[in-house]
A and B are shown apart, each in its own frame.
Chain A
Amino acid sequence: MAPSRTSAVPRTGPANRARAARRPVAASRTGLDHADVQGLVGSGYGRLPEAEFLGVRIDDGAAARALLGGLIPQVTSMASSRGSRALNIALAYTGLARLGLPEAALDGFSLEFRSGMVTPTRSAFLGDEGENAPSTWAWGGPGTPRVDVLLFLYAESPAELVAFRDSVRRLMGTDGVVEVVALPTASLSPRDHLGFADGISQPEVADLRGTRGEADVPLGEFLLGYPNAYGRRTGRPLLPAETDTAGVLPTAPDAEAPDTVDFGRNGTYLVVRTLGLDVAAFWEHAGRWAARTGLSPDLLAAKMVGRWPSGTSLTVSPDHDDDAQPVDNDFRYHRDGDDLGLGCPVAAHVRRANPRDSLDPRPGSDAAVRVNNRHRLIRRGRQYGPPPGDPEHADDERGLHFLCLNANISRQFEFVQHTWLNNPAFAGLQDSPDPIAGHRPPAAGVFPIPATPVRHRLLDLPSLARVRGGGYFFLPGVRALAYLASGPGAPAGIRSG
């Protein structure tokens, strides 16, 4: 009577998995200058649990340059992220133009960044339609003030954050720069609003901290100016050296024209999306289908996320949560016996946000991981809104300010959102978008849970994540910020030599 195949995913122990060796090298081969990279690239500031993001509109370039000049001494770099406060600055394309960045450099940014997140074709592509449409957004959309600059403030305590924010606002003055949106965040907590540990899987980036492991993702996937996963430097804003009269910017030795400086070096694109989360609908759905399938709501929730609340992967521990710390994140789906999704379903959120070795070519091989690593993101988001358990604030809006860093918006963020999350045909599935973060018409998705002998299927998935705002920003290197603050070296409209 019993099926001849075991239904459990074979348990994988340290002996069964070859861990990627991390070989520290004496000095970073690329000579990464940590003082030039903004701190957000290297760290989510876990020691600073309070944060707030301020959106600023530039009405006058000179006032904006003055503000930048005042803020730069406080900007946190990867070399200096040790204090009780941290500040990082990102700019939209409109912000860079208003600050007087020469056109030669402006043209060097990617098409996605230049046109922004809110064009009709991009909104259609990202699933920002219907209730996710930019016209409904609280910030970053056509109906709200333009955000040219985003300031990211982090602090150790709420009082510290208030003091920090007030000091920044004083620097803004009364003229020329206007704060148009404030995005407060919830205190850092080990669990997200759904009750799950988040942020476990971050890519290991070669040379970011002076070490290089075998399966690391190349630095150029996350920082401009370095070779990316194809061994080439992603196109970036270059300038003729004469526009940099103060000699602030690093040179670009690989550029076609001689005497070129690199405005983009050590910078990266920052994608921001405010996602409102309907926690009640999630648990209602899990509860309803628990009754129909006979599985517990907690199991169904874990299946949809792809991990247990502690963060342990369903592939590592298919039947029950495992509170072992640190969480074992060194697994691979096919290599560790979960190719069919009996542990972590193929349609689950974490599996489709980072399929590891699940996809072609040759799932389970190193080649599959290498190709997978061409679509990685460094995530630095923070939650907002009161915890769902709070009865007084049960109906308040809550969710995630999703932040991610990548050097190629189209091949990384947009690819993950469109081709992996929103795609109802991900990995050969049908009608199955991401149960949590996929954007689709309401109640039109299916969530298959592989099982033996026959799968479960949750129907009528509700739309849980609703886009409330967002934009494409550039997180420059510190020297690039200094260049911007000192004013354009030549009149606007200069073309590159």
Chain B
Amino acid sequence: MPYQSAVTLLAPLPPEHRDRAAAALAELAGPGREALAFDLHASLHFARLLLLDGAEDSAGHGLGPSLLYTADLDGSADAHLRALADVSGAGLDRAFSYCADYPTRPDPANRTEWLRAHRIPEAAFYVNTVGRGVSQVVAEAQLRRGLESYLDEHRATVADLPPSQVHAALRRHALSDPELRFGTVPARRPPLWWRVRQTAHAVAVPAVVLLLSPVLLICLPVVAIALRVHELRDVPDRRPVDPASVERLRADEDRVAHNPFAVVGFLKPGTFRAVLTRVVLFAISYAVRHVLNRGSLAGVKTIHFARWVYLTPELMTFLSTYDGSLESYMDDFIDKVAWGLNAIFSNGVGYPPTVLLFWRGASDEELFKKNLRNRQVPNHVWYSAYHDLTALNVASNAAVRRGLARRTLSDDEASDWLALL
């Protein structure tokens, strides 16, 4: 099974075309869905198109109106761009034709070039479970449905058997059903070359950090003092939320099992904050790449994908796909990983006051939630390959498949496995 990649494209939009682009996106989100044909991409988990309104900070840094495209996918990013340019060409044309340098006579080749030219890197990319591709998610959901139907119909015949025999009966049923047979063998892991590369990175970074550790330790108190000085000078954003904006955002939320989330915000000005943010993002990037890739983002299990992206050196965006309501998402984070939220988001303008980066901050619950809502932007077009599955559902279905793929299970193991169904 493949590894996962991210694609982020940013294309500036001439201000005079902003409204027309907005109308094009609205059409693509509704009646024009087929032009984008996202469902024809077998490797695409989630994709979205946003129209970002221009933003400028007090120093004049910022971004004019722009279109942002993001995709969470399996396999090579470049392959996705080529596929986009081909299969989704009509939709891309409608969305991006107002961009200054979009080809006037688009064809797959020059579209691909344009897409490549507008690709920007992600500072950190979180994947819930590395190696689990779209086809695996969809197939395992179907496997569960098949096993559940079998149990619904034949419970009486298996209810008196010991758990290991029930497991055997289910295996026999799956083997006999062409739609379910795949579930009797384990899922494949990502390719070896990719795993080797990951391990090399996993080892190299701590090695370098260890080498530099004396220097880092000396710097730490200085950094702490400088940080405290900055924190005492920071001004939190206490603006109330705008009910109309919230209403507009909520209209797109909670339609299916998960929601796309996007916030855009300026970093606090100055070199100190710029460097601190880079360091924190590097740490996050390392952690999500090597540690937090097995179903839990430091305790939060409801996020499918997440990424941090620099739109400009001063303007950052955070995008994620999460299960449940925004309220439950924010509560989850505040309750479980407030320190993590603080570490990265306290570098953004207006964040609730923190103490030494990790403390306070998000635990000022109402101020934190207001800040988030005030910086949240709508996702004009959004696609999900499995919109009725939560991250826990996907994980549970994978566990069902893992159990089914074992030829025999002991009674205890089978008992645990059957509790999943």
Interface segment, one of B109-117, B202-210, B407-415: B407-415
A5–B366 contact, CB under 8 A? Answer: no
Q: Which listed residue (B152, B166, B327, B396) contacts A457, Cβ 8 A?
A: B152
Chain B 291-308 residues near chain A, CB threshold 8 A: 299, 301
A419–B324 contact, CB under 8 A? Answer: yes
Complex Cα distance, B254 from A159, in Å, reads 48
Q: Which listed residue (B390, B392, B396, B411) contacts A3, Cβ 8 A?
A: B411
Chain B 384-421 residues near chain A, CB threshold 8 A: 390, 392-393, 396, 411-412, 414-415, 418-419, 421
Chain B 135-170, CB-CB to A under 8 Å as 1, else 0, gives 000000000100010011001101111110010000
B76 part of interface (Cβ distance < 8 Å): no
Query: Closest residue of chain A to B254, judged by CB?
Result: A125
Q: How many residues of A contact B (CB 8 A)?
A: 46
Q: A5-B415, A452-B163 are in contact. List 11 more A-B contacts (CB 8 A).
A: A228-B365, A230-B334, A371-B335, A418-B327, A419-B327, A425-B257, A428-B392, A452-B415, A453-B163, A455-B421, A459-B152
A4-B412, A453-B415, A454-B158 are known contacts. Are A234 and B366 too (CB-CB below 8 A)? Answer: yes
B229 part of interface (Cβ distance < 8 Å): no
Q: How far is the CB of A441 from chain B (nearest CB, A)?
A: 13
Residues of A near B366 (CB, < 8 A) are: 232, 234-235
B312 part of interface (Cβ distance < 8 Å): no
A111 part of interface (Cβ distance < 8 Å): yes
Query: Closest residue of chain B to A108, judged by CB?
Result: B240
A3-B162, A452-B163 are known contacts. Are A125 and B392 too (CB-CB below 8 A)? Answer: no
B290 part of interface (Cβ distance < 8 Å): no
A491 part of interface (Cβ distance < 8 Å): no
B246 part of interface (Cβ distance < 8 Å): yes
The 7 A-B pairs with the shortest beta carbon distances in the complex, nearest first, are: A121-B250, A428-B392, A453-B163, A230-B365, A425-B390, A419-B328, A4-B411
Residues of B near A457 (CB, < 8 A) are: 148, 151-152
A340 part of interface (Cβ distance < 8 Å): yes
Interface SS majority for chain B: helix
Q: How far is the CB of B20 from chain A (nearest CB, A)?
A: 27
A26 part of interface (Cβ distance < 8 Å): no
A425–B301 contact, CB under 8 A? Answer: no
A115 part of interface (Cβ distance < 8 Å): yes
Query: Closest residue of chain B to A446, judged by CB?
Result: B148
A418–B254 contact, CB under 8 A? Answer: yes
Complex Cα distance, B364 from A234, in Å, reads 10
Residues of A near B257 (CB, < 8 A) are: 425
A453–B365 contact, CB under 8 A? Answer: no
A419-B324, A452-B415, A456-B155 are known contacts. Are A361 and B335 too (CB-CB below 8 A)? Answer: yes
Chain A 437-464 residues near chain B, CB threshold 8 A: 450, 452-457, 459
B363 part of interface (Cβ distance < 8 Å): yes
Q: List 6 A-B contacts (CB under 8 A).
A: A3-B162, A232-B364, A419-B327, A454-B151, A454-B421, A457-B148
B241 part of interface (Cβ distance < 8 Å): yes
Chain A 106-147, CB-CB to B under 8 Å as 1, else 0, gives 010001001100011110110000000000000000000000
A119–B247 contact, CB under 8 A? Answer: yes
Query: Closest residue of chain B to A459, judged by CB?
Result: B152
Q: Which listed residue (A235, A294, A425, A456) contacts B393, Cβ 8 A?
A: A425
A120–B251 contact, CB under 8 A? Answer: yes
A338 part of interface (Cβ distance < 8 Å): no
A411 part of interface (Cβ distance < 8 Å): yes
- Most B CB atoms within 10 A — which of A107, A122, A450, A453? A453
Residues of B near A459 (CB, < 8 A) are: 152
Residues of A near B17 (CB, < 8 A) are: none
A425–B323 contact, CB under 8 A? Answer: yes
Chain A 410-424 residues near chain B, CB threshold 8 A: 410-411, 414-415, 418-419, 423
- Most A CB atoms within 10 A — which of B151, B166, B418? B418
Complex Cα distance, B145 from A430, in Å, reads 10
B166–A454 contact, CB under 8 A? Answer: yes
Complex Cα distance, B144 from A411, in Å, reads 33
A360-B299, A454-B155 are known contacts. Are A121 and B363 too (CB-CB below 8 A)? Answer: no
Complex Cα distance, B419 from A415, in Å, reads 27
A1 part of interface (Cβ distance < 8 Å): yes
Q: How far is the CB of B149 from chain A (nearest CB, A)?
A: 10
- Most A CB atoms within 10 A — which of B161, B328, B363? B328
Complex Cα distance, B393 from A108, in Å, reads 40
Residues of B near A1 (CB, < 8 A) are: 160, 162
B270 part of interface (Cβ distance < 8 Å): no
A374 part of interface (Cβ distance < 8 Å): yes
Chain B 351-402 residues near chain A, CB threshold 8 A: 363-366, 390, 392-393, 396
Chain B 330-350 residues near chain A, CB threshold 8 A: 331-332, 334-336
Residues of B near A231 (CB, < 8 A) are: 363
